[in-house]
Every structure is written in C-alpha cells, then in structure tokens.
Amino acid sequence: MKNDKSTATNQKPLILVSNDDGITAKGIRELVEMMTLLGEVIVVAPDSPQSGMGHAITIHMPLKVRKSDVFKDLNVEAYECSGTPADCVKLAKFHLFDNRTPDLVVSGINHGSNTSISILYSGTMSAAIEGAIDGMPSIGFSLCDYGDDADFSHIRPHLLKIAEQTLKNGLPKNIALNVNFPARFDKNTNEEKEIKGTKVCRQAHARWQEKFDLRTDPYGREYLWLAGDFVNPDKGDDTDEWAVNNGYVSVVPCQFDMTAHHGITHINNEWEI
C-alpha cells in the first residue's frame, strides 16, 4: 500500500481491524461490517485462534503474512498472520501500511468477557494496547458470550457510537479502551436482556482462583488442564464487572504504563536503599 494520507483529500478514516479468535471468527466479521460504515477498513488478524496470549510477540520463529479473501464479499482488504494479535498490529503498521497510519485500531469482537484481571491475559486487548503504544486511538471490544455462534446484533448501535466518538474526539495519548458488552440472553433463564446504557468504569479488583485438573490421555500419559473459578470480592458499583452484570456496556480506559506510584512512595519512605 503506497497511499500517503497527507496528500489525500476527503479521505475516509483508515481503520485497522484485528482480533484474537482468528480471522474466520464470527465476531471479527461483525466488527468489520460495522467499521465499513465509518471508514476504509483493512484487516490483519491471526490465521488461527490466539486467545489468552496476552501481549506475546513472536521472536523465535519467522512470521508469515498472506492476503485473505475472507472479507471479499465486503470488498475489504484482509491479511492473515501466523503470529499473535500484537504481531498483527506491528506488521500492519510497519510492513503493510507504508506511509499511512491508521486513524483507529479496533480489536474483536471477542467471544467472551475481558473484564477485570482478564485484560492481562487477553489477546484482544493486546492488539488494542499495541495500537496505543504507537499513539493510535485503539479499542478492544468483547461480548460476554463465549459461544461460537454468539448473537452480536444488540450491540451494534452502542459499538458504532463508541467508535464514532473515538474517531471524532480522539483519546488521551497512549490510552486504549477496554469495552465489554452484556450477552443478549441471560445464561440462566435464556431471557432476552436490553442494554441499559454505557458506563465509563474502573477495572474490578477480581481474579481467577485457578486449579489444574490432572488427567490421562488415551495412551496412559498424565497431563494437566487449567481450570478455575472467577472470584470477585470487589463490590463497587463503578466497576466493569458491575456494569456488564447489570445490563450496561462497560468502558475502561487502559494504559500500558504499569508503574505503581504508591509503591515508589512506600519504598522511598520505608526501605534503606
């Protein structure tokens, strides 16, 4: 791609779409369709599922990227990459886009929640954070429904509004948004739920209480399978967990500067160094 944005007039916003569920997932198709309403869309996504990869990058093996016709029916240029979501954003910016910089990076729509501590493990959010590292307004979108055939129809107007506002008003430098949508149907009653609105939240102080199941394969060899339960002692009504569990879209501004400033104060005051 050799287009130089600075020389173009009345050019549509350039929107980079990626994900962690893989280029053929239902969620990314939904996202691509919505983004075509807002600008010129180019997809660079993993060629296979990369959930739970966190911000991993590929350094010990070659990366392969090739054109894909997955979104040919939408007239959207797409590439599939052998690497992680973070790899995809890096390759897009420094290899595929040449002189153009995306006006917006969006990742998802993830099949499953990325609230609270899950952001640290999320491949979806790693793509968004990678965009923010390079100064591009970036958003990770997730639906709290893990089904491969999840229903995304109810989130369309809310997702579009968040993306439109980001394109129009921008984000603070090096900030990415972690956006989670409630599932359309209640998992216990299967009743349809309406989205009540959007809340800008903080990340809940919750965690996974993990365990490893010891199992045996058909050849009698033992192996371990990660399992566990999500534990949320944070009862605040200003968190992402509270929002999605009470019918709201949660929007959490995130940063990659993980400095604990109160830790600096404690060490300087209490340690003898």
> What is Dmax (Cα atoms) for the chain?
66
Q: Which two tokens stand for residue 32?
A: 């691509």
- C-beta atoms surrounding 172 within 10 Å: 9
> Does residue 31 contact residue 106 with C-beta atoms inside 8 Å?
yes
Q: What is the CATH number of the domain that holds 179?
A: 3.40.1210.10
Of all residues in the chain, the percent with pLDDT exceeding 70 is 96
Of the candidates 165, 160, 166, the one whose C-alpha atom is nearest the C-alpha of residue 181 is 160
Integer distance in angstroms from the first to the last C-alpha of the chain? 53
Buried b (16+ CB within 10 A) or exposed e, 210-243: eeeeeeeeeeeeeeeeeeeeeebebeeeebbbbb
Q: What is the pLDDT of residues 83-115, one digit of tens each?
A: 999 999 999 998 888 788 999 999 999 999 999
Q: Which domain holds residue 16?
A: 8-205+237-256
Residue-level pLDDT at 210: 81
Q: Within a domain: residue 108?
A: yes
Confirm whether 135 is domain-assigned: yes
Q: Which two tokens stand for residue 86?
A: 């973070």
Mean pLDDT of the chain: 91
Answer whether residue 19 shows pLDDT above 50. yes
Is 134 within 8 Å of 166 (Cβ atoms)? no
**Helix, strand or coil, per DSSP, at residue 133:** helix
The pLDDT of 162-177, averaged and rounded, is 96
The tokens for 224 are 């371990």
Q: Is residue 50 part of a domain?
A: yes
- The tally of domains found in the chain comes to 1
Residue 218, SS3? coil
Residue 145 belongs to a domain: yes
Confirm whether 19 is domain-assigned: yes
**Domain assignment present for 137:** yes
Does residue 5 surpass a pLDDT of 60? no
Whether the per-residue pLDDT at 141 is higher than 60: the answer is yes
Whether residue 177 lies inside any domain: the answer is yes
Closest among 40, 49, 180, 19 to 103, alpha carbons compared: 40
Supply the pLDDT for residue 185.
Answer: 84
Judge whether 46 lies within some domain: yes
Task: pLDDT band for 228, please (50, 70, 90 cuts).
Answer: confident
Going by C-alpha positions, the residue among 161, 135, 123, 118 that lies closest to residue 18 is 123
* Pairwise CA distance, residues 253 & 140, whole Å: 10
Residue 61, pLDDT above cutoff 60:
yes
Residue range 198-202: mean pLDDT, rounded: 97
Task: Please give the pLDDT value at position 81.
Answer: 96
pLDDT in tens, 148-163: 888 999 999 999 999 9
Check: CB of residue 142 under 8 Å from CB of residue 114: yes
